[in-house]
A and B are shown apart, each in its own frame.
Chain A
Amino acid sequence: MAVRAKHQRLVLLAVALVALIGAGLLATWALRSQASYFYVPADMAANPPEADRAVRLGGMVERGSMKNAPDGVTVNFIVTDGKARIPVRFAGIRPALFVEGSGVVAEGKLGRDGTFVADNLLAKHDEKYVPREMKDMQQARKAIENTK
Chain B
Amino acid sequence: MLPEIGLGLLWLAAALAGLQLLAGGLSLTANGKGMAGIVRPVAMVQGVLAAAALGILIWLFVQTDLSVKLVAENSHSAKPLMFKIAGTWGNHEGSMLLWVTVMGLGGAFVAAVERRLPEPTMMATLAGQAFVSLGFYAFLLFASNPFARLYPVPEDGNGLNPLLQDPGLAFHPPTLYLGYVGLSIAFSFAIGALITRQVGPDFARAMRPWVLGAWIFLTVGITAGSYWAYYVLGWGGWWFWDPVENASLMPWLAATALLHSASVLAARNALRAWTVMLGVVAFSMSMVGTFLVRSGILTSVHAFAVDPRRGGFILALLAIYIGGALLLFALRASTVSEGERFAITSRESALVFNNVMLSSILGITLIGTLYPLFTEAMGTKVSVGPPYFTPVSAMFAVPMFVVLLFGPMLRWRRDRFSRISPLLALPLVVALIAGGWAWAMGVRHVLPLLGLALGPALVVASFLPLRGRSVLRAPLSLWGMVIAHAGIGVALFGMASDSAFTVERLVAAKVGEVNQVGPWSIRLAEVAPIAGPNWTAMEGVLKARYDGGAEVTLRPQSRTFWAPLQTNAVSALKGRWNGQLYTVLGDETVSDKGESRWQLRLWWKPYVPLIWIGGLLVALGGGLALLSRVAQDLKRRVARAKGGNRRDEVAALAQGDTAQGDAAKGDAA
Contact = CB atoms under 8 A, between A and B. Distances in A.
A1 B408 CA distance: 28
A9 B271 CA distance: 9
Interface string B267-311: 000000010000000000000000000000011101000000000
Contacts of B359: 16, 19-20, 23
Contact of B601 (A31, A35, A92): A92
Interface stretch (B56-64, B128-136, B428-436, B565-573): B565-573
Contacts of B586: 73, 92-94
A10 to B, nearest CB: 11
A73 B364 CA distance: 38
Contacts of B360: 19-20, 22-23
Interface stretch (A76-84, A110-118, A128-136, A140-148): A128-136
Contact of A26 (B382, B395, B567, B601): B395
A24 interface: yes
Contacts of B371: 31, 35
A73 B599 contact: yes
Interface in A11-50: 12, 15-16, 19-20, 22-24, 26-28, 30-31, 34-38
B234 interface: yes
B564 A127 contact: yes
Interface string B590-617: 0100000101010000000000000000
A68 interface: yes
Contact of A30 (B392, B508, B567): B392
Contacts of B193: none
B300 A26 contact: no
Given A4-B341, A125-B161, A36 B591 contact: no
Given A20-B360, A72-B599, A132-B372, A9 B396 contact: no
B634 interface: no
A36 B387 contact: yes
Interface in B544-573: 564, 566-569
Contacts of A68: 589
A35 B356 contact: no
B564 A24 contact: no
Interface centre among B339, B342, B508, B597 (most CB of A within 10 A): B508
A75 to B, nearest CB: 10
Nearest to B396: A23
Contacts of B385: 35-36, 54, 107
Interface residues of A, number: 46
Given A72-B597, A91-B506, A128-B161, A26 B387 contact: no
Given A9-B337, A20-B359, A26-B392, A31 B591 contact: no
B392 A132 contact: no
A128 B90 CA distance: 13
Contact of A133 (B381, B384, B569, B591): B381
A56 B387 CA distance: 12
B383 A133 contact: yes
Contacts of B302: 135
A8 B348 CA distance: 13
Contact of B388 (A24, A34, A94): A34
A12 to B, nearest CB: 6
Contacts of B340: 5
A54 B367 CA distance: 20
Interface of A: 4-5, 8-9, 12, 15-16, 19-20, 22-24, 26-28, 30-31, 34-38, 54, 56, 68, 70-73, 91-94, 96-97, 107, 120, 125-130, 132-133, 135
Interface of B: 161, 163, 234-235, 274, 298-300, 302, 337-342, 352, 355-357, 359-361, 363-364, 367-368, 371-372, 381-385, 387-388, 391-392, 395-396, 506-508, 564, 566-569, 584, 586-587, 589, 591, 597, 599, 601
